[in-house]
Amino acid sequence: MNKQLKEFTLTGLAAALVFVTTMYIKVPNSLGGYFNLGESMIMLFCSVLNPFHAFVVGGIGSALADVIGGYAQYAIPTLIIKGLEGVVISILFAKFGSKIKWTAYALAIIIMVGGYFVTEWIMYGSAIVSLSAVPANIVQGFAGAVIALILLKRVQLLTENYRK
């Protein structure tokens, strides 16, 4: 199998994992909503993919979950926010490697939290209402980073072997 086909296959599998972990693995929170584990898969796979593929994994996987899960109004903002999150992680890992993984993931969390804050401010017309979602988004982002860090070394080894 040629290298480009392997990369597209890995991207498709990663986007599917983002979709499944966003759509179906939900942990209720005390704020009346839920946390999902899609964030962890974005952080994990975008650490080993190029920026274009990282955008596809983060953006498409998450936006599909919004559409199918009944939150279609978030699909376009999610595509942009999660796609940019993936691109930033990808670029930082490509340039600096794993030694700045916390920095890469922290920037991704800032993009996600800030992106949804602005999105909800525009949608609901109130910064106060939008601000109420910030704590849950921070917790979700941090939990995603922890899970990604736990799995990162294994996925790096698997993808290196897969690409050979």
Higher pLDDT, 5 or 28: 5
Kind and range of the H or E run holding 104: helix 101-124
Listed by start position, the domains of the chain span 3-163
Burial class from Cβ neighbours inside 10 Å (0-12, 13-18, 19+) for residue 100 reads: middle
The pair phi, psi for residue 156, each rounded to 5°, is -60, -45
Q: Can you give the pLDDT at residue 33?
A: 67
Model confidence, pTM: 0.92
Q: For 8-25, how does the pLDDT look when each residue is reduced to its tens digit (9 = 90+)? A: 999 999 999 999 999 999
**Distance between CA atoms of 111 and 113, rounded to whole angstroms?**
6
The highest-level CATH class for domain 3-163 is mainly alpha
Predicted confidence at residue 155, as pLDDT, reads 93
Over 90: is that where the pLDDT of 106 sits? yes
For residue range 25-79, what is the model confidence (pLDDT) as tens digits?
A: 988 776 666 788 999 999 999 999 999 999 999 999 999 999 999 999 999 999 9
